[in-house]
C-alpha cells in the first residue's frame, strides 16, 4: 500500500539572510528509494536536516507520518548522523548503546545482523576506523531504526569501492517494503540502479520529482546524463 | 556490481537477463526463482524494480507465481521455445540490419556468415582464443 509519508509545504530557509531553500513543496509516498540530487551546496543536506527535525523550520510545514512537531518528527525519521558528537575514543559498542537509549525504535537485533554483514566490531574505537568502515557504521546505525523514513546523506562519499558495494547491498537487503529511503548524492551512476524516483534540487528549490523510468522513457537518457543536462540547462521538463 | 545501460529502464534489462538464464537452462523449467530480495541484491537493484520485471514475465506466462511459495519458471516447453525464438530473432535483426547498412545483399551476408563459422571452427581446433 502506498500511503503519504512525507509532506513539505512552502518551506523557506535562510542562512545569514541568504536563501538556501525557497518555496519547497514535496509529497512522498511510502515504499520507495528516492535519490536527492543536486550540486554541492545546492541545499541537499539542509533539506535533509529540516526533514529529519535536526534544524528548526522557520517558514513552512513538514509532516512525516502525520506528525509535524520537530521533536516528534525526530522520533519518526532515521537520519544518517555523521557521528561528530562522539569523542574519538568512543567504542562502536558504546555508540550502539547510545542509539538504543535515545531511539525507542532502534533494533539491536537488526543492528547485529547488519554489523555482522558489514564486519563491524563492537570494541573498535571511532579514531581507529577507516572512512569506509565509518561509512558502514553510519549505515548500520541508520538502518537499524525501525521506522518509515530513512535519510542517507551522501552515504558513499569518499568511500572505497569495496565498501561502497557493501553499503549498497545492505541498503537493498535491509530496506523494509513499506519504508522510504532518500539518498542524497551529487554523483549518481552508482546508485542509479537503486532508485525508483529522483528529486532534483536546482536554484534553491525543487526543480523536478520524477520516476527514473519516466526519465529513461521520455528523454532516452540515464539519470546521471539527464541530471547533468538539467544543470547545463540543455533539457526542459 | 551490475553494469546497466543508462538509458534503458532497468526492469527491462533485468527481465532480459532472467530470460537468457531461463533459455540457457541456468534456471530450469519448473524450478523456483530466487526471492525478490535475493534477486534485488544480486542485481544491485531496488525490490520494486525486480518486482516489475517479474510482473511482466508473469504476464508473458514465463513465470508462474505460487501464492506463499514464490515464483516458478513455467513447465511449458512451448513457451520457452517461443521465448528463445524471439530473443534469437532480435539478435539476428540487429546484425542483419547492420550488415545491410554496409550495402551487403542477402547472398553476401549468408556467404560471409558461413565463412565466419568455418573460421571459428578452425580457430577452435588450433586452440586460438575465441
Mean pLDDT confidence for A84-89: 90
Cβ distance B47 to A192 less than 8 Å, yes or no, reads no
Q: What is the pLDDT of residues A8-60, one digit of tens each?
A: 999 999 998 999 999 999 999 999 999 999 988 889 999 999 999 999 888 89
Q: Residue B130: what pLDDT?
A: 46
Question: Nearest-CA distance from A193 to chain B in Å?
Answer: 5
User: Does residue A23 contact residue A207 with C-beta atoms inside 8 Å?
Assistant: no
Which cell goes with B9? Answer: 529502464
User: Domain locations in chain A?
Assistant: 4-232
Closest CA to A193 of A233, A231, A157, A165: A165
User: Does residue A38 contact residue A201 with C-beta atoms inside 8 Å?
Assistant: yes
* pLDDT band, residue B3 (cuts 50/70/90): confident
Give, in order, the Cα–Cα distances in Å from A174 to each of A15, A154, A169, A181: 36, 18, 9, 11
* CA dist., res. A213 & res. B70, Å (int): 26
Question: Nearest-CA distance from A174 to chain B in Å?
Answer: 9
Higher pLDDT, B3 or B29: B29
User: Domain locations in chain B?
Assistant: 10-75, 78-125
- CB-based burial of residue B130 (10 Å sphere; 0-12 exposed, 13-18 middle, 19+ buried)? exposed
Cβ distance B44 to A175 less than 8 Å, yes or no, reads no
The residue with cell 540515464 is A222
Q: Class assignment of domain B10-75? A: mainly alpha
- Which ipTM was obtained for this model? 0.81
- Enumerate the residues of chain B whose CB falls inside 8 A of the CB of residue A32: 48
**Which pTM was predicted?**
0.87
Question: Nearest-CA distance from B101 to chain A in Å?
Answer: 24
- Enumerate the residues of chain A whose CB falls inside 8 A of the CB of residue B48: 31-33, 196
Which cell goes with A75? Answer: 522520533
- Enumerate the residues of chain A whose CB falls inside 8 A of the CB of residue B43: 193
Q: Residue B7: what pLDDT?
A: 85
User: Does residue A219 contact residue A235 with C-beta atoms inside 8 Å?
Assistant: yes
Domain A4-232 has CATH 3.40.50.2300: no
b/e string for B36-46 if b means 16 or more Cβ within 10 A? beebbbebbbb
Which of A196, A221, A223 has the CB atom closest to B48's CB atom?
A: A196
Q: Which residues pair with B26 in a beta bridge?
A: none
Q: What is the pLDDT of residues B44-96, one digit of tens each?
A: 999 999 999 999 999 999 999 999 899 999 999 999 999 999 999 999 999 99
- As a whole number, the mean pLDDT across chain A is 92
Question: Nearest-CA distance from A32 to chain B in Å?
Answer: 8
DSSP chain B: -----TTS-HHHHHHHHHHHHHHTTSS-TTPBPPPHHHHHHHTT--HHHHHHHHHHHHHTTSEEEETTTEEEE---HHHHHHHHHHHHHHHHHHHHHHHHTTT--HHHHHHHHHHHHHHHHHHHHTT---
Closest CA to B47 of B36, B58, B55: B36
Cβ distance B11 to A216 less than 8 Å, yes or no, reads no
Q: Is the pLDDT of residue A1 over 60?
A: no
DSSP A181-224: EEEEES--GGGGGG-SEEEEEETTEEEEEEEHHHHHHHH---HH
- Enumerate the residues of chain A whose CB falls inside 8 A of the CB of residue B41: 169, 172-173
- Enumerate the residues of chain B whose CB falls inside 8 A of the CB of residue A190: 1
Closest CA to A34 of A184, A201, A172, A159: A184
User: Does residue A52 contact residue A79 with C-beta atoms inside 8 Å?
Assistant: yes
Which of B7, B10, B37 has the CB atom closest to A193's CB atom?
A: B10
Cβ distance A193 to B45 less than 8 Å, yes or no, reads yes
Question: Nearest-CA distance from B48 to chain A in Å?
Answer: 8
Q: Is the pLDDT of residue B102 over 80?
A: yes
Backbone dihedral angles phi then psi of residue A18, each to the nearest 5 degrees: -105, 130
Amino acid at each position: 500500500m502506498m500511503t503519504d509519508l512525507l509532506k513539505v509545504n512552502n518551506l523557506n530557509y535562510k542562512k545569514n539572510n541568504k536563501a538556501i531553500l525557497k518555496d519547497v513543496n514535496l509529497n512522498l509516498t511510502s515504499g520507495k528509494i528516492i535519490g536527492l540530487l543536486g550540486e554541492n551546496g545546492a541545499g541537499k543536506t539542509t533539506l535533509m536536516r529540516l526533514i529529519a527535525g535536526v534544524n528548526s523550520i522557520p517558514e513552512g510545514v513538514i509532516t512525516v507520518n502525520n506528525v509535524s512537531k520537530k521533536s516528534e518528527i525526530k522520533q519518526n525519521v532515521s537520519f544518517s548522523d555523521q557521528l561528530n558528537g562522539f569523542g574519538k575514543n568512543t567504542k562502536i559498542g558504546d555508540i550502539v548503546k547510545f542509539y538504543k537509549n535515545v531511539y525507542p525504535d532502534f533494533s539491536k537485533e537488526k543492528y547485529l545482523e547488519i554489523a555482522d554483514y558489514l564486519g563491524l566490531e563492537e570494541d573498535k574505537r571511532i579514531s581507529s576506523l577507516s572512512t569506509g568502515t565509518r561509512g558502514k557504521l553510519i549505515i548500520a546505525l541508520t538502518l537499524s531504526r525501525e521506522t518509515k523514513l530513512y535519510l542517507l546523506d551522501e552515504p558513499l562519499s569518499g568511500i572505497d569501492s569495496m565498501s561502497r558495494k557493501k553499503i549498497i547491498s545492505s541498503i537493498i537487503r535491509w530496506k523494509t517494503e513499506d519504508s522510504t529511503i532518500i539518498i542524497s548524492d551529487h554523483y549518481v551512476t552508482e546508485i542509479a540502479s537503486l532508485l525508483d524516483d529522483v528529486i532534483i534540487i536546482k536554484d534553491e528549490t525543487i526543480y523536478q520529482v520524477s520516476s527514473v523510468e519516466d526519465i529513461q522513457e521520455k528523454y532516452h537518457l540515464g539519470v546521471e546524463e539527464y541530471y547533468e543536462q538539467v544543470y547545463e540547462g540543455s533539457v526542459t521538463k | 556490481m551490475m553494469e546497466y545501460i543508462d538509458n534503458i529502464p532497468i526492469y527491462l534489462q533485468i527481465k532480459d537477463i532472467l530470460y537468457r538464464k531461463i533459455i540457457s537452462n541456468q534456471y530450469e523449467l519448473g524450478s523456483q526463482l530466487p526471492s525478490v530480495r535475493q534477486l534485488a541484491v544480486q542485481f544491485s537493484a531496488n525490490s520494486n524494480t525486480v518486482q516489475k520485471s517479474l510482473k511482466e514475465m508473469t504476464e508473458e506466462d514465463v513465470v508462474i507465481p505460487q501464492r506463499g511459495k514464490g515464483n516458478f519458471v513455467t513447465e511449458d516447453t512451448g513457451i520457452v521455445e517461443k521465448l528463445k525464438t524471439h530473443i534469437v530473432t532480435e539478435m539476428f535483426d540487429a546484425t542483419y540490419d547492420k550488415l545491410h547498412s554496409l550495402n551487403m545483399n542477402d547472398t553476401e551476408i549468408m556467404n560471409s556468415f558461413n565463412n565466419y563459422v568455418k573460421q571459428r571452427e578452425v580457430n577452435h581446433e588450433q586452440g586460438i582464443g575465441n
